Chain A
Amino acid sequence: MGLGGRKISSSFRSPDRGDIYTKDRLDMRKIIFSGLLFCSTLCFGQRAAIIKLADLQRLLGEKSDKIHIVNFWATWCAPCVQELPLFEKINSEGRPDVKVTLVSLDLDLDPDPEKVYRFISRKNLQSEVVLLDEPDPDSWIDKIEKRWSGELPATIFINQKTGKRIFVGKALQPGELEEHLEIIKSPK
C-alpha cells in the first residue's frame, strides 16, 4: 500500500567524497541518527502519507472483517476538529471489529502539508491519517461517495462483508458513532 510516509533517512547518505569512516565518526553518525529518529517520533508521532485518488479507492475497498470508519476532515474545519476525539476514542479502544482512517483534505486549499503534520503531533493523533492530494474535486468526489456533496466533515462507515455503506454528511454527535456501527454490523 506504501502508506509508510516520508523517508527521513535520505539526508544520511554518505557523502560522495570517498571518506574513510573511522569508528568514531560512525559512532557519531549513530548517535545523531538515533537522536534525530527519537526527535522525529517525538515531534511527528506519525508521518501521515500523502495519497492520490487511486490509493484512497484501494484503501476504501480493502477486504476486511472490520468495519472501516473513514472520516473526511481538515485542520481549518472547526466541527471536524471537534469530532476527531470520537474517532480517536474508538481507535484507542483497540477494537478488533473497527478500523479508523482520517482523510485530511487540507491540501485542496493549501499545498503545504506541514500544517497538518504539526496538527497531528500537537493533538497526538493515533488513528491512521492520510492526506488526499487531488485537484479538481468535481472529478473525484463521486468516485468516493455519490451521496457526498463535498461538505466537511463527512464520514463513511463501510462493511466490506455485506457491502453496506452508511454516509453521514455532518459532524457526528456523541453516541451516533456507536449507533451507526450497530446498524452497519447487522447482517440485514
Chain B
Amino acid sequence: MRTYSLFTIVVCMMLLLAGKSVNLDYGLGDTVSDFKLKNFDGKMVSLSDYKDSKGVILIFDCNTCPYSRGYNDRIISLHKNYAPKGFPVITINSNDGEQSPGDSFEEMVSKAKKKKYDFPYLLDETQRVGRAFGATNTPHVFVLRREGSAFVVAYIGAIDNNPRTDEGADKKYVEDAVNSLLTGKPVPIQKTKAVGCGIKWKDV
C-alpha cells in the first residue's frame, strides 16, 4: 500500500513537471535561449549575433495576416528609428506554410524584397522558437534587453493600441518600452494584449 501511494505521488509529480515543461513560455524577466533560423536572404541568423546591440525588438509576424499587413510600415519604422539607437528589429514567421501557403519561405522572400527589409525575416520552420516564446498572434512583440551575453524579456505584446492607423494610436507600447530601456527607466507597460491572427500551428 505504501509503495503504491509513493508511486502515485511520484507519478503525479512527474506529470506536474511534464505539464510545466510544455508550458514554459517566456515571461517578463526571463532569459531567452539562443536560436538560429534561416533568413529570407538564405543566411542563418542567431540571437547571439546581436551581442553588440543594447537589445532587440523581436516580432512574430507573417505575410498574410491583415494585422501584420496593417502594421508592416510601423515595423519598418521601428527598425529605422531604433536600430541606430541599439534596438534593431528581428521578425520571425512561425506560421505553418502548408496551412497558410501565403506564408511559405518563397512568399517571405518576395515580401521582404518588395518592402526592402534591411532587418531579418526569419523562417521558424519547426515552430520551436514561436512555441518557446509563447507567441500567439501576429504581430506579437517581445522587446529583449541585453545583459552581458543574455537577452532578457522586457516587454510582451502589441506594437500600439490602434491596428487601424498609426495616427490613431495614443499608446505606443513598444516605443515607450524601448525609450525607457534606453534611458534606464522602468518599462511603463510591460504586457499588453491585442486582437490578431492566431499563429497557424502544425497539428501535433
- Chain A residues in the interface with B (C-beta under 8 A): 76-79, 105, 108-111, 135-139, 141-142, 148-154, 169-171
CB pairs A–B below 8 angstroms (26 shown): A76-B66, A79-B198, A108-B163, A109-B66, A109-B67, A135-B162, A137-B158, A137-B194, A137-B195, A141-B193, A141-B194, A141-B195, A149-B136, A149-B140, A150-B194, A150-B195, A151-B136, A151-B137, A151-B198, A152-B137, A152-B195, A152-B198, A153-B198, A154-B198, A170-B198, A171-B198
Per-residue contact bits, chain B 62-92, to A (CB 8 Å; 1 contact, 0 not): 0000110010000000000000000000000
Tell which of B66, B157, B164, B197 touches A151, judged by Cβ atoms closer than 8 Å.
Answer: B197
A136: min CB distance to chain B, Å: 5
Q: Known: A142-B193, A151-B196, A151-B197. Contact between A136 and B161, CB under 8 A? A: yes
Q: Known: A137-B158, A151-B198. Contact between A109 and B193, CB under 8 A? A: no
Q: Is the CB of A149 within 8 A of B137?
A: yes
Residues of A within 8 A of B119 (CB): none
Q: Known: A109-B70, A138-B158. Contact between A150 and B164, CB under 8 A? A: no
Residues of B within 8 A of A154 (CB): 198
Q: Is the CB of B66 within 8 A of A150?
A: no
Q: Is the CB of A138 within 8 A of B194?
A: yes
- Chain B residues in the interface with A (C-beta under 8 A): 66-67, 70, 99-100, 136-137, 140, 157-158, 161-164, 171, 192-201
Q: Is the CB of B164 within 8 A of A111?
A: yes
Q: Is the CB of A137 within 8 A of B161?
A: yes
For the complex, give the distance between the alpha carbons of A49 and B136 in Å: 29
Which of A76, A142, A149 counts the most chain B CB atoms within 10 A?
Answer: A149
For the complex, give the distance between the alpha carbons of A109 and B137 in Å: 15
For the complex, give the distance between the alpha carbons of A142 and B191 in Å: 12
Task: Return the chain A residue nearest B189 by Cβ.
Answer: A138
For the complex, give the distance between the alpha carbons of A105 and B164 in Å: 13
Residues of B within 8 A of A77 (CB): 197
Residues of A within 8 A of B200 (CB): 79
Q: Is the CB of B137 within 8 A of A150?
A: yes
For the complex, give the distance between the alpha carbons of A169 and B66 in Å: 19
For the complex, give the distance between the alpha carbons of A49 and B47 in Å: 47
Task: Return the chain A residue nearest B198 by Cβ.
Answer: A151
Residues of A within 8 A of B137 (CB): 149-152
Q: Is the CB of B192 within 8 A of A169?
A: no
B163: min CB distance to chain A, Å: 6
Residues of B within 8 A of A139 (CB): 161
Q: Known: A149-B137, A150-B137. Contact between A138 and B196, CB under 8 A? A: no
Closest 9 CB pairs of A and B: A151-B198, A151-B137, A149-B136, A138-B192, A141-B193, A150-B195, A151-B136, A150-B193, A137-B194
For the complex, give the distance between the alpha carbons of A110 and B66 in Å: 10
A148: min CB distance to chain B, Å: 8
B152: min CB distance to chain A, Å: 21
Q: Known: A109-B70, A149-B137, A150-B193. Contact between A138 and B198, CB under 8 A? A: no
Residues of A within 8 A of B196 (CB): 150-152
Q: Is the CB of A135 within 8 A of B161?
A: yes
Which of B67, B140, B198 counts the most chain A CB atoms within 10 A?
Answer: B198
Q: Is the CB of B194 within 8 A of A152?
A: no
For the complex, give the distance between the alpha carbons of A98 and B160 in Å: 37
Which of B171, B194, B199 counts the most chain A CB atoms within 10 A?
Answer: B194
Task: Return the chain B residue nearest A134 by Cβ.
Answer: B195
For the complex, give the distance between the alpha carbons of A76 and B68 in Å: 12
Residues of B within 8 A of A136 (CB): 161-162, 171
